[in-house]
Chains A and B, each alone.
Chain A
Amino acid sequence: MFEGLAEKLQGTFKKLRGKGKLTEKDINDALREVRFALLEADVSLPVVKEFINSIRERSMGAEVLESITPAQQVIKIVNEELTALMGDKRSDVVFNSSGVTVFLIVGLQGGGKTTTAGKLALHYKKQGKHPLLVAADIYRPAAVQQLEVLAKQIDVPFFALEGETPVTIATEAVEHSLSHGQDLVIIDTAGRLHVDEELMEELQEMKDAVAPQEIFLIVDSMIGQDAVNIAKTFHEELGLTGVILTKLDGDTRGGAALSVRKVTGCPIKFVGSGEKLDALDPFYPDRMSARILGMGDVLSLIEKAQANVDQEKAKELERKLRTQEFTLDDFLDQIKQVRSMGPLEELLGMIPGLGGAKQLRKIQDEVDEKDFVYLEAIINSMTLEERNNPNIIKSSRRKRIALGSGRSVQDVNKLLKSFEQSRKLFKQLSEMGTGKGSRKLKSMKFPFM
């Protein structure tokens, strides 16, 4: 259902190829695709409209019209403008130079406020701060206990008062921190709808009472068109200082990031990428923009790969690919490396064009643990010569290998075929890395290939 914008634009311009020079109408067609892509990624409509308007002029310029790769040019513009809009990579936070710093955590119900409060506490504890976690959600059943459990998990002091209002709890918590040597007070509040005037007022009172340095709006990254309404109201009522996007570990395109950023002008300071308390990451505008455009979170993939890959080996491999020396041993090595990078599904989700859940599931089904074991067994049953030069593996050798590995001849055939395909694929991918291959992944190096 969601193809990347890149594919769509290529389709649009392909139709025009051979027609000669591009016209304004052609560009309008392309911009329409951009519009769809952004809407499919859940960017709010008013924000989409404004954005398209803002890139229209640039898109009509010579940079696109006279290009032989107009799709790439449009994508480049969209990506650049989107990244610029998304702001800086900025997780810096305002701290009081003396005394305590107060964070107020606000947002809708279920967005991840309590969890994020815990994550922030852990994050700043690691940086030498002395956080205090404050339970000011007196409405949701067991919300106080939830925060208490989290505080224990990370060994951070916890503050709650039974039978008091959120305003009193917040005020007393700050008092408490002053006399107990805590320098960072993180106040978890109850989830509330932006249209709930009474509860929005309560937040204002809390703000007035504790004068927080940071007011973080917690936004679920799966949220749709309503993002503008929510962010706008929270910002108007409270004057937010930052946004934290949660649940980015799923496959949402996360267009809400743009909507929220646009209507509040606040920086997105962190993103949540898991239920565990260490799953708090800095925000990278370029990655977010690629994600929204359906180009996959290639950078994260690469980073992940890099963390797991022996750089020397990778270089050697690149050389081999270029010189066509890629062997079955390398093949096995590659598979092992890919596997060592963690859950395949997570990894594949980040590859451009592979985000589709259906395909993911299929692939997942086809590469279960068993297959890897069989594959290894078959390769291990080959002689060194065979591994280095698979072309010599003719029918009698295939029979022998099958017998030796306990698999069928068909399995051996399948493996050899898949090796051949992979050799081509790896080659292709590595060429993308060097700028020769497909334009789509230009300049994106796949170190493990």
Chain B
Amino acid sequence: MAGLFSKLKEKLTKTDQKQQKSKLKETLTKTRESFVSKVKQLVTVHKKIDEELYEELEDILLQADVGVAATCRLMDEIRQDVKKRKISDAADLRNLLQGKMKELLGEDVSLQTDFPPPTVILVVGVNGVGKTTTIGKLAYRMRQEGKSVLMVAADTYRAAAIEQLEIWSERADTEIIKHMPGSDPAAVVFDAIQAAKKRDIDVVIIDTAGRLHTKVNLMEELKKVRRVITRELPDAPHEVLLVIDAATGQNAMRQAELFKEATDITGIALTKLDGTAKGGIVFAISEELGIPVKLVGTGEGIDDLDDFDSDEFVSALFADDEEDEYDEYGEEDEGEGDDE
């Protein structure tokens, strides 16, 4: 209790705060098109590096949900580098920025599924981001690799969530463990781990109910699920995937923080990149929390799932929307599937 009140007091009496330091300049006199302009174009228009170019780059980052703090940091660094290294060509500036952004994302890390069986993958996230769909796609991919897969219907809360997963398990041709709606998710998971051991399953993928990270009791429920898994299989879960909708704004940072705290996230699946949203918040998440993006979702179809590729991701961020870059991004190994 002492803690509560002293914190309250602290917060309520604090008046001056650290100043946000940045060189972001107001660009108030101009109203711009809502769609991001292409950097390539920018570069040819500007050729030389000037304030306007900086501003436009800044706008691109902000509109990609990179966030104020990360954008300011990036732009500050760029400006310093330009000065230090006497860069004057606008094209070099673009490369500089893209390089920095890739640095933020770190090395690409892929999902690990080759542990001594069963590999257990726990999938978590807020409501409606695409957990169940991602599981369907992932299971399908594992099946294509010849692995046996067990889906676990541990979302016992949302209406028809179990039926939804069942349909995906039919599509992907996997086994499934389910209980009645409303039953204890930890109990479903317990049964599933037992079954996986008995049936020599290679990969167990656990679907959980969507929950807002701020709901303490639901986060506790998730911790319990995790504890049950670890009790039954000491090295598991091997992967804990946080699913984030690419359209999410700055709140995704909170989601990552709190889900990390509760379940020790090992990677992010960034979904719905087939829209116009850029998913730029993952730069801040990667930088501040060190959680890598491992998978990207690019549609509602069963093979609309890709490994994360930071090169492509960063260039998509700077591409013009009219080019439908996300379709290209997603279709890369999709459409060609038939050729094999």
**Partner-B contacts on A (CB < 8 A):** 1-3, 7-8, 10-12, 14-15, 28, 31-33, 35-36, 39-42, 44-46, 49-50, 52-53, 56, 108-112, 114, 139-143, 145-150, 153, 193-195, 220, 222-226, 228-230, 232, 247, 249-253, 255-256, 263, 275, 335, 343, 345-346, 349, 351-354, 357-364, 366-367, 371-372, 375, 414-415, 417-418, 421-422, 424-425, 428-429, 438, 440-441
Contacts and interface: CB of A to CB of B under 8 A. Distances in A.
B214 A11 contact: no
B4 A11 contact: no
The size class of the interface chain B forms with chain A is 35 or more
Contacts of B68: 36, 39-40
Contacts of A372: 1
B300 A364 contact: no
Interface in B29-63: 29-35, 59, 62-63
Interface in B262-309: 272, 274-278, 281, 300
Given A46-B31, A225-B64, A358-B257, A220 B128 contact: yes
Closest 10 pairs between A and B when the two form their complex, measured CB to CB: A224-B249, A110-B128, A366-B3, A42-B249, A418-B2, A141-B167, A149-B159, A146-B160, A142-B164, A142-B163
Contacts of B275: 108, 193-195, 226, 230
Contacts, number: 263
B212 interface: yes
Interface in B297-327: 300, 321, 324
B20 interface: yes
Nearest to B324: A195
18 contacts: A3-B17, A31-B26, A36-B20, A42-B251, A49-B28, A141-B164, A142-B161, A142-B164, A193-B274, A220-B248, A224-B247, A225-B249, A226-B276, A247-B128, A249-B212, A357-B257, A417-B2, A438-B13
A371 B4 CA distance: 11
Interface of B: 1-9, 11-20, 24, 26-35, 59, 62-65, 67-69, 126-130, 136, 157-161, 163-164, 166-168, 212-217, 245, 247-254, 257-258, 261, 272, 274-278, 281, 300, 321, 324
B15 A110 contact: no
A220 B258 CA distance: 19
Given A7-B17, A351-B11, 19 more contacts: A1-B69, A8-B17, A11-B15, A46-B31, A46-B33, A56-B28, A108-B275, A141-B136, A142-B161, A146-B164, A222-B249, A223-B249, A224-B247, A226-B275, A229-B276, A361-B258, A361-B261, A367-B4, A371-B1
Contacts of B130: 109-110
B27 A49 contact: yes
B278 to A, nearest CB: 8
Contact of A110 (B32, B127, B161): B127
B214 A349 contact: yes
A3 B16 CA distance: 11
Given A367-B3, A414-B2, A359 B249 contact: no
Contacts of A225: 62-65, 249, 277-278
B136 to A, nearest CB: 8
Nearest to A366: B3
Contacts of A153: 159
A31 to B, nearest CB: 7
B158 A146 contact: yes
A251 B251 contact: yes
Contact of A146 (B3, B159, B247): B159
Contacts of A145: 159-160, 163
A2 B216 CA distance: 20
A139 B133 CA distance: 12
A360 B219 CA distance: 14
A366 B8 CA distance: 13
B138 to A, nearest CB: 15
B214 A357 contact: yes
A147 to B, nearest CB: 8
Contacts of A40: 67-68, 250
Contacts of A52: 26, 28
Contact of A353 (B6, B11, B20): B11
A110 B245 contact: yes
Nearest to B321: A229
A366 B4 contact: yes
Contacts of B7: 354, 359, 362-363
Contacts of B277: 224-226
Contacts of B166: 142
Given A195-B324, A354-B11, A357-B258, A35 B26 contact: yes
Given A44-B63, A353-B12, A363 B274 contact: no
Contacts of B157: 275
Contacts of A367: 1, 3-4
B160 A428 contact: no
Contact of B62 (A8, A45, A223, A428): A45
Contacts of B26: 28, 31-32, 35, 52
Contacts of A366: 1-4
B300 A109 contact: yes
A15 B31 CA distance: 31
Contact of B12 (A50, A335, A429): A429
A250 B126 contact: yes
Given A12-B19, A28-B26, A223-B248, A438 B12 contact: yes
A250 B212 contact: yes
Given A194-B275, A251-B214, A256 B34 contact: no
A11 B17 contact: yes
Given A149-B160, A357-B213, A357-B214, A49 B67 contact: no
Nearest to A37: B68
Contacts of A223: 247-249
Nearest to A353: B11
B6 A111 contact: no
Contacts of B65: 42, 224-226
A44 to B, nearest CB: 7
A415 B249 CA distance: 41
